[in-house]
Each structure stands twice: as structure tokens, then as C-alpha cells.
Amino acid sequence: MDTHADPNVTLPPVTTILTPAERVRVDAAGEGVYTAFHRDSIDDVIRDLKERRASAVLVSVTRCNLRDATRVALLVREFPRVPTVALLSELETSVPSAMLTLGRSGVQTLIDVREPAGWRHLRDVLLGDQSRDINRLALAQLSTDLTGVHPDCWRFFEALFQMPKSIATVRALARHLGVVPSTLMSRFFRAKLPAPKRYLAMSRLVRAAQLFENSGLSVANVANRLDYSSPQSFGRHVRGLLRMTAVEFRHTYDGEGMLQRFRDELVLPYRVTLRMLAPLSARLSRPK
């Protein structure tokens, strides 16, 4: 398939090292679930993890050899949040040895696709990993914390963890929600709540903390993924909010730990007030 990413594609990207026959079948199995980028080396796969933000790695058992084992082990170690899945589509004499090699390299999931049920299992594994995404975890937890809030209030929190990463200012967030920015800010101010800017900034750090769980991603990689203008801008953002450096932040918080801080500082102490908040009632007029 064409390996140039379509900017309009929203399905999670999966990077692979497969045989030609497996590529065709993986593409067919992934329809509506993921977009596959097929590579010929582990170094290309690692580049995808850093630059194309691949959400999973598929490695053919028949394509893995001892020469690749060290690089696969590095991949698994540096990107623990990204599942690496071994794919078994045919049983050749070299397969048992290759399976052992992948196991020693840290690959823990093997999917046998010699039967149709294997392809369903592959889809289930990849969908299951999507459910562990920090944005989904955040909304699942917040739906419990914010039971009974006004629909407008829930839309605000939902947007924090569902909106495009390019929305990085309160003005852009307000426009995304269809409300005048000054109205959004004044409603939080009158309710004596933290400013919308702080909610937005902290939600971005929740996502950053989960990305940092992959040691193969540098500060520059994470800053780029979250659309900060530069690593220095990201560092200033962290220091301004948390009084620590970006490196200290990476060693202090994982995604769930930062989500807990978000809840402890911005949600749990204000639940009574948030249940009475309707911040979006003054909508922007839309052209007819």
C-alpha cells in the first residue's frame, strides 16, 4: 500500500514487518480498525513509532531472524505502551526458532492467523489496546466523578480529551465548543473555579505523561506530537504549571498518575460547583 500517510485518515496507524501475502491480508483485516504502514526493517518501524505515531507493531514470525532480535528487544523496551504482536501465518521449519527469538526479545503476544478466528483475534487485540488510551481512561473516570453535571459542563470536559491536539488555546477551545471565549472564561471565574486555561493545560500534560512512558520518545518527540511550538515551549509549559523541568516531569508522572493529579486539583474539590455549571449557554451565532 502507499506508505505516505493521508492527513485525513483518523484510524490508528499500525507499523508492520510482514511477508507480501501477509500484508494483503492484514490490510483487509484492518478495514475500519487501523491503517497499516508496511516496512522492511526494524529501524523503519522505530521511525514510525516516533514520527508517524504508530499505535501497534506487527512482526511476522517468518520475517524475524537472530539479526533482528536485538533491535526488536530495543523496540519493546523503549516503547512499552505500544503493543508488539507476532503474527504466525504459516508453519515453516524456521518458525519455532523464530518464535523463541521473539519471546526472548520481549514480545508477549502471538496471534496465529492460519484460521479465520485468528484475524478476529488480531482486531480484538488492537481494539483492546485503543481502550487503554489515556483519553479514554480519563473520560471513563471523569464520567464517574462528574455524575449529574449539566450537559454543557460534560461537553467541556469531553472536549479536553477528545478535541484535536492542534487546539492549544482557550480561544480555540471555545470556538471548538461554539461559545464566545470571554463567556467561557467569565462563567468559570464567577463560579470561583480554576480558569479554563488551566484545565486545558493540565489535560495536555496528562497526554504528555502517557507518551513519556515510552522511553524511546524524546522531549522533542513529545512536544511535536502535542503541537507545542518547540521543546523549549513545552519545557516552559511544564515549569509554569508544575514547577519542575520536562525531564523531572517524565520521571515523576505516568499517564494515570498525571490524570490523578488533574482530578485531585481540578475536579474532585469542585464537584458540587461543577454540577451547577453550564458554561456553554451563550453560543456563537452560526451562518445560515
The answer to whether residues 29 and 115 belong to one domain is: yes
The answer to whether residues 144 and 234 belong to one domain is: yes
The answer to whether residues 20 and 82 belong to one domain is: yes
For residue 5, tell me if it sits in a domain.
no
The CATH number for 28's domain is: 3.40.50.2300
Q: State the pLDDT confidence band at 1, using cuts at 50, 70 and 90.
A: very low
Q: Which of 9-13, 28-32, 107-111, 255-259 has the lowest mean pLDDT?
A: 9-13
Strands 35-38 and 109-112, sheet pairing: unpaired
Q: Which residues contact 141 (CB under 8 A, 6 or more apart)?
A: 259, 263
Within 146-244, residue ranges assigned H as helices are 151-162, 170-177, 181-190, 196-211, 219-225, 231-242
Q: Which residues contact 285 (CB under 8 A, 6 or more apart)?
A: none
Q: Name which residue leads in pLDDT, 195 or 56.
A: 195
pLDDT tens digits, 8-53:
445 778 999 999 999 999 998 888 778 899 999 988 999 888 887 7
Residue 157 confidence (pLDDT) above 70: yes
Beta carbons of 73 and 96 less than 8 angstroms apart: no
Angle, CA of 174, 179 and 181, to the nearest 5°: 55
The answer to whether residues 208 and 266 belong to one domain is: yes
The answer to whether residues 32 and 123 belong to one domain is: yes
Mean pLDDT of the chain: 85
The answer to whether residues 256 and 157 belong to one domain is: yes
Beta carbons of 72 and 105 less than 8 angstroms apart: yes
Q: Read off the C-alpha cell for 200.
A: 486545558
For residue 2, tell me if it sits in a domain.
no
Q: State the pLDDT confidence band at 164, using cuts at 50, 70 and 90.
A: confident
End residue of a domain, out of 108, 130, 152: 130
Angle, CA of 6, 16 and 206, to the nearest 5°: 70
Q: Read off the C-alpha cell for 192.
A: 470561583
End residue of a domain, out of 130, 156, 172: 130
Q: Which of 40-44, 47-51, 103-107, 193-197 has the lowest mean pLDDT?
A: 103-107
For residue 176, tell me if it sits in a domain.
yes
Torsion of Cα atoms, 60 then 65 then 70 then 73, to 10°: 30
Largest interatomic CA distance in the chain: 72
Which residues form the domain of 105? 13-130
For residue 210, tell me if it sits in a domain.
yes
The three-class DSSP label of residue 150 is coil
In 10 A of CB 1, how many CB atoms? 11
End residue of a domain, out of 71, 103, 130: 130
For residue 3, tell me if it sits in a domain.
no
For residue 7, tell me if it sits in a domain.
no
DSSP H or E segment with residue 165? none
For residue 98, tell me if it sits in a domain.
yes
Q: State phi, psi for 2 to the nearest 5 degrees.
A: -65, 125
The answer to whether residues 211 and 114 belong to one domain is: no
**Rg of the chain on CA atoms, in Å:** 22
Q: State phi, psi for 127 to the nearest 5 degrees.
A: -65, -40
The CATH number for 147's domain is: 1.10.10.60
The answer to whether residues 42 and 86 belong to one domain is: yes
The answer to whether residues 68 and 143 belong to one domain is: no
Task: Report how far residue 11's alpha carbon sits from residue 253's, in angstroms, rounded to the nearest whole number.
Answer: 28
The answer to whether residues 24 and 116 belong to one domain is: yes
The answer to whether residues 121 and 28 belong to one domain is: yes
- Number of domains making up the chain: 2
Q: Read off the C-alpha cell for 69.
A: 532480535
The answer to whether residues 167 and 101 belong to one domain is: no
pTM of the model: 0.66
For residue 160, tell me if it sits in a domain.
yes
